[in-house]
Structures are given as C-alpha cells and as structure tokens.
Amino acid sequence: MIRVRNEQTKIHHCLRSILPVFDEVVVLDNGSEDDTVRVVRQLQERNQNGDRIRLFSYPHRLARFGPEHRNTPENSVHSAVYYTNWALSHCSYRYVCKWDGDMVLLRGARREFLDLLTKIQTGIGRSWILAGQTVYRDAMGDFYLAKGEVNSEIRIFPNGKRCRFVKAVDWERLKRPFFVRKRRFAPVCFLELKFAGEDEFSHWSTRDWPSARKRREWKNYQLVGNGHIDGAGFERLGPTLLDDQLENW
C-alpha cells in the first residue's frame, strides 16, 4: 500500500525495487501535480511485473500533519486517518505492507525480506517492524547517508477490520488487537529518500516539530541543502545509489 503525492523523482526506483516481492502494489495518488501518475502508468505498461500495480485516485485535499490534522475530525474525507483506511480497503491480500513513495528496498535485504514475506503466510497473524535508513541527495545529485538516522515502525500487519488507523495528536497511527503481537525484522531493509531542492515537508502544517525524529530530519535536510556536509554526520554514497539497488533485479 503506497500513498503518494508529487513523488515523480522517487516513484520509479521505489516501485521497481518492490514489484518483484509483493503480490500486488496498491498505489493511491492524492492529487499529484507532477508526473507521478504518468510514471506509475508507464511501469504498469512496460515492467514485467507491471500488472501487479493497481492505481487509484483520492481527490480530496488532506489536512497536513500538525495543527491542521489536530483540527480535522478523523471521519472527514480530509483526514489522513480516513484516507489511509480508504487506502486499506483496496488491499486484497492477507497482509498489508505500508510502504511510502520515497522508500526503496535495499538490494542487500532482498533475500531476507522475501523469506519474511513467505514465512508470514502461515501461522498466527503478527505485525512486523521494518527499519529504514535515511539518505539525502544534494543539489549536485550525490547521496549522503545520515549516520545514525535509522527509523523503525510497524509496516506489515494483517489485513482486516481489526487493524485500522486512528487519530493521534499530529498524525495517524495503526491500532491493532493485543493478540496481533509485533516482531522486528532485524536488518535495515529500505532507504528513505530526501532530496535537497524539493519540499520534503510540504505535508506538515508547522515547523515546530513534535518529535526528535522530525527535528533531526529537518536539521539534516537543511545541512545537506546548504552544502554543510561533514564526515562526522554523513557518509557520501555517490550519485548511482538508487540505480545500484536495482542491479540484477
């Protein structure tokens, strides 16, 4: 399940990295004003796994995270809660993986990730925490790994009415029954992309960040955007990082 808006610079690598591992890839576009939809349709037509993509359009403007989200009822069509549960309703398999349009599956994690997806098809339902490494692209097209910036959350969970999203203070969150216990998939399995020169925080209605994670992301985004990159905080990965993840795939 991939909710997208204006991801034209990332969605190609995102989808190509995951099409071989999932039974279906449900892409839900929220009024993109760039070429996101065109890129998705091209992959539907030209990729050998393109028939796995199911593309839907959600026409309502969403309240941005932060104060706008707080002031929007969760049953409003403008709420991220309503939108995400609407997105879930289009997923047709036993499990859902909540992926994002700025995430790329790491080449080195493919085999273990495929093994996980096979493993969870039998037995009692579980939810799984996935970890991702944030990387930033500067104005010259070079990628930089932000040292220590690894974020984890539940991204795989059973598909059914008992696992649904509810309103948290500044964003939506997954609510699951107590018996759907969580497990952690140990390896870092995806890259989370942030590009200097693009508004990576347009889905927020504040710059008064409510979490340490967002404060760290904002700081690193500013450092890379302004060219203040040092070896203590970043590791240069070069310009071919994303293409490298698709090698032999």
Distance CA 48, CA 25 (A): 14
Distance CA 170, CA 72 (A): 11
Mean pLDDT of 38-44: 98
Q: How confident is the model at residue 216 (pLDDT cuts 50, 70, 90)?
A: very high
Check residue 10 and give its pLDDT.
98
Mean pLDDT of 99-108: 98
Mean pLDDT of 74-89: 98
Give 145-163 pLDDT, tens digit per residue. 999 999 999 999 999 999 9
Q: How confident is the model at residue 35 (pLDDT cuts 50, 70, 90)?
A: very high
Distance CA 180, CA 10 (A): 32
Q: Which fold has domain 2-245?
A: Spore Coat Polysaccharide Biosynthesis Protein SpsA; Chain A (3.90.550)
What Å distances lie between residue 125 and 103, 183, 186, 244, CA to CA? 25, 11, 18, 34
Check residue 187 and give its pLDDT.
94
Do strands 53-57 and 25-29 pair parallel, antiparallel, or not at all (unpaired)?
A: parallel
| pLDDT at 123 exceeding the cut of 90 | no
Here the tokens at position 97 are 């993986």
Give the single-character DSSP code of 28.
E
Mean pLDDT of 77-100: 98
Mean pLDDT of 85-104: 98
| pLDDT at 177 exceeding the cut of 90 | yes
Mean pLDDT of 9-19: 98
Percent of the chain with pLDDT over 70: 100
DSSP letters of 51-113? GGEEEEE--SPPPPBTHHHHTS-TTSTTSHHHHHHHHHTT--SSEEE-EETTEEE-GGGHHHH
Compute the residue count for the chain. Answer: 249
Distance CA 117, CA 105 (A): 14
Give 128-146 pLDDT, tens digit per residue. 999 999 999 999 999 999 9
Alpha helices for 71-226 (secondary structure H): 80-88, 110-119, 212-225
Distance CA 150, CA 73 (A): 31
**What value does the mean pLDDT of the chain take?**
97
